[in-house]
Amino acid sequence: MRVTEIFLKDYRNFAELKLDLSEGINIFLGRNAQGKTNILEAVYFASVLRSRAVKFTDLISWDKDAAFVKIGFRKAEVSQEVAVELSARKRSRRLFVNGEMVRSKSFVGRLNSVIFAPEDLFMFRGSPAGRRQFLNAEISQASPVYYENLQVYNHIINQRNVLLKKIRAGQARRASLETWNEQFAKYSARITAERLISVDMLKDFARIIYKNISAQNEKFSIKYDLKYLDFDITKKNFYSGEFKHYLFDWYKKIIAEKSQRDIERGNSGFGPHHDDLKFFINDRELKLYGSQGQMRTAALSLKLSELEFLKSARGEYPVLLLDDVMSELDANRREQLLKFLKLKKIQTIITATEKKYFPDADFGKVFEVNAGKIF
């Protein structure tokens, strides 16, 4: 997969921008707060409809009513484009694939990208929500069905939480919860099964990449942490249809057991929206015992394994977005990263403040960014 063109209109600090990219490495150099990250964020937003902005309307230039993002790319050697039109006044967005307006479930996954930012170096010690967001974005790009199931699941949780509060206040009967509990169990099983399969694939890629990068005899492993787990998941064949039925029955049992507590709390305290990822080096939990060097290597390994995961699902590598991480990596890890990208021929968009992080050899196309303009 290759991004060929980026077009931005009234997006962040870009009044208008049109860029043609190299098939290899594209480097955007400039001081902080000049707009480098906005370019990466536009590509990622066009992939998963998520950004680090609190609200999508924050992506619109502060004095404008609307913004437009269009990304041209080649996938399986076929030219395509995705576009997003954002309206501040209507607080809405319109999505387009090859000029035709579509819904989000037909949009997410068209353009595949992986973003690696400085905060990812410390995701192991961050909140579970950040790790779930990482997993959801990864699987949604690989599987449109997962993305759709996740949208339905979030709707079920919101509606169930409203009902729980009404039951607690005596404004609804407890029996009315049964229908939502059935749907809650159904979609919880679907999402969890897909996550388990994805983590199983991801951990194999990450283990190999970590070993190659670290040059140490250390074992890096990943585990999906399922709340209230009362069975040995390693002994279950979670690739089978039977396992999904097993999960469905298990969720129904746990939901029934926890429903009274949920009513008392007024929210759903159990389900995939509470699960987590755990990371280990030599069977010792990384966030508790890992060094800074191990965490940096693990984060880099995780992002590179995400590339391999999406390639296995989509048939070609996604675009890699590196947001000012070169300064956070030591010389050895930078060298290993650039060597990997060159070997795999992965199109990469990099932001950096200094050119010194890159070798003197021909490594790609360089752009200078200054106050929302590209030189």
Q: What is the tens place of the pLDDT at every residue in 127-174?
A: 999 999 999 999 999 999 999 999 999 999 999 999 999 999 999 999
What lies within 8 Å, CB to CB, of 288 at 6+ separation is: none
> What pLDDT score does 177 carry?
95
Give the pTM: 0.91
Torsion over CA: 311, 141, 119, 295 (sign): negative
Percent of the chain with pLDDT over 70: 98
Distance separating alpha carbons of residues 141 and 269, to the nearest angstrom: 27
Mean pLDDT of each 10-residue bin along the chain, 375 residues long: 97 95 93 93 95 83 95 95 95 96 95 92 89 95 95 97 97 94 96 94 94 85 87 72 88 94 95 95 94 91 95 95 90 85 92 83 82 89
| Angstrom distances, CA of residue 201 to CA of 110, 291, 321 | 21, 25, 22
DSSP code for 77 = T
> What pLDDT score does 67 carry?
97
> What pLDDT score does 360 carry?
62
Task: Give the burial class of 171: count Cβ atoms within 10 A of its Cβ; 0-12 exposed, 13-18 middle, 19 or more buried.
Answer: exposed
